[in-house]
Structure 1
Amino acid sequence: MNHDRTALAIRHVAFEDLGLIEPLLVARGYQVSYLDIGVDSLDPQILTQPDLVVVLGAPIGVYETDAYPFLVTELEAISVRLQAGLPTLGICLGAQLIAAALGAPVTPTGRKEIGYAPLQLTDAGRASVLAGLEGVAVLHWHGDEFAIPDGAQRLAQTPGFPNQAFCLGDRVLGLQFHVEADHTRIERWLIGHALELAAAGIDPRQIRADATTCGPMLADVAVTTITSWLDRAERG
């Protein structure tokens, strides 16, 4: 096992961390570290150094660059990494940032998709590392939508959001939904997003209950899915 590999997670909100993915990376010999947006400085070249970069979620939009100027630098840094062809995983806002860095528009829909609900895979998705997620209830928490970047494959959809995942080759994967969220720690999400839940008229008790019933299966499939992607990304 290679113990010299490094994984860097770009974190925007304290409780939206690597979750279930972190122990998996450690077991594969990665040294895991976080870059906390708004706390740590982000130089565009810094993202070319780690073997793996995971860009995590946040309750803001890619296009809100006036309100959150760090997004400009973050997009530039992600672009530099993508141009270098290095393994990159994006989740929620992270996937939207990757899509935007690849030239695809990211837009608000005026709707919210929050809570556990099943995923439907496309034909390409069923042939991809996401194969095990067909029909599995994943955690959704978004209102924005990315277009599929040129050259990328659309892998998954839900009734309200046709673009739920994409891959560009074996080394770039963007997931609109959350596979990393640890269902045993869902309370932190419910507290952190309390205002958004209230504004959307969503009862936290429903998400809490669904985390108990859907969470364990999702956790198993999530580990298998990310393992399959890493197997390909590390080879590529």
Structure 2
Amino acid sequence: MTLRIHALFHTDYEDFNFIKQWANSHNHTLNLSRSYDDDALPALDSFDWLIVMGGPMSVHDEEKHPWLIAEKRLIKQSVDAGKTVIGICLGAQLIAHCLGASVQPSGVKEIGWLPIRLTPAGQAHPLLQDLPKQDFAVFHFHGDGFDCPKGASIIASTDAWANQGFVYQTPLHKELGTWLLAWQCHFEVTKESLAKMVVNGNNSIQSGLKEYPKTVQSPAEIIALGDKYIEENNARLSAMLNRIAEK
């Protein structure tokens, strides 16, 4: 089955990254909207999956970024229609917000290749059976966090923030075999995209190194560790996307 995948981008330097490699390998179609740049949002019947990407803004920045209002409306409509919706970092926070959960500063920044662990619910979940049962390193770049949406299952945690991802299905999603999957971390980064994130997020990294030295890594360390961890994390994302695509 060929999937029609639409993504919401929030920064000029953002790309599909590994998601594009995965989609191309399965002949899925990819489209995107940069609503912050006045792109039109897609019609609800024009896509099967909605992927909500990351970005430096807060879900509450509607006054500064009024395009967030329309994006939230589309996310909520997609959930109500039983679409598969996948969130990455800010995208995960937007989905949580649209499901009625609180999103706020977590009290710590996590920036770099830091260990994450699956919760018991995560270890048991059918979408995550290809992920390690022990701690494994993923790339983080966030300071906000979300509470668990009502009815969702928290699937991963870190020492700094307990809610690092969740899965959720409405009755319609269960009927259609579709999912909501949200991660704070970035399984999708490639060597090229990681370098862009480090350059464009350098101010946050430098301030984070002073405030949160235990959970923020230097640019050089982030790039070096990326060479070690990117390939295995891309493989983990591929496995999750494959399981979501299987009906």
TM-score when normalising by structure 1: 0.91
- Tell me if structure 2 keeps the 8 A contact 1:136–1:218: no
* Residue 224 of structure 1: aligned partner: 239
2:155 pairs with 1:155: yes
- Tell me if structure 2 keeps the 8 A contact 1:119–1:156: yes
**Residues 166 and 48 of structure 1, relative CA distance in 2, 3 Å threshold:** farther
1:10 Cα offset (Å): 0.6
Equivalent residue for 1:41, pick from 14, 39, 47: 39
* Residue 189 of structure 1: aligned partner: 197
**d(CA) in 2 for partners of 1:217 and 1:86?**
28
2:202 pairs with 1:204: no
DSSP-derived class of the 1:119 partner: strand
2:179 pairs with 1:171: yes
1:132 Cα offset (Å): 3.0
| Mean CA deviation greater in 65-74 or 154-163 | 65-74
Superposed counterparts of 1:94-133, under 5 Å: 94-128=91-125, 129-133=127-131
1:21 Cα offset (Å): 1.3
**d(CA) in 1 for partners of 2:166 and 2:136?**
17
1:223 Cα offset (Å): 1.5
Q: 4+ runs of 1 displaced by more than 6 Å?
A: none
Equivalent residue for 2:4, pick from 3, 6, 29: 6
**d(CA) in 2 for partners of 1:126 and 1:28?**
27
**d(CA) in 1 for partners of 2:123 and 2:62?**
35
Q: Deviations over 1:102-141 (max 9, x none)?
A: 1111001231001011211011101222233332211111
**d(CA) in 1 for partners of 2:218 and 2:39?**
37
Equivalent residue for 2:20, pick from 19, 22, 36: 22
1:194 maps to a residue whose letter is N
Q: Percent identity?
A: 30
Point out where structure 1 has 5 or more consecutive residues left out of the alignment.
none
Point out where structure 2 has 5 or more consecutive residues left out of the alignment.
170-177, 210-216
* Residue 68 of structure 1: aligned partner: 65
**d(CA) in 2 for partners of 1:182 and 1:15?**
13
| Mean CA deviation greater in 128-137 or 193-202 | 128-137
Quote the RMSD (CA, aligned, Å).
Answer: 1.7
**d(CA) in 2 for partners of 1:85 and 1:78?**
11
| Mean CA deviation greater in 60-69 or 171-180 | 60-69
1:13 maps to a residue whose letter is T
Q: Deviations over 1:23-43 (max 9, x none)?
A: 211222211111112124345
1:189 Cα offset (Å): 1.1
**d(CA) in 1 for partners of 2:45 and 2:96?**
18
**Residues 67 and 154 of structure 1, relative CA distance in 2, 3 Å threshold:** same
What is the number of equivalent residue pairs in this alignment? 229
**d(CA) in 2 for partners of 1:77 and 1:190?**
30
| Mean CA deviation greater in 77-86 or 200-209 | 200-209
DSSP-derived class of the 1:85 partner: coil
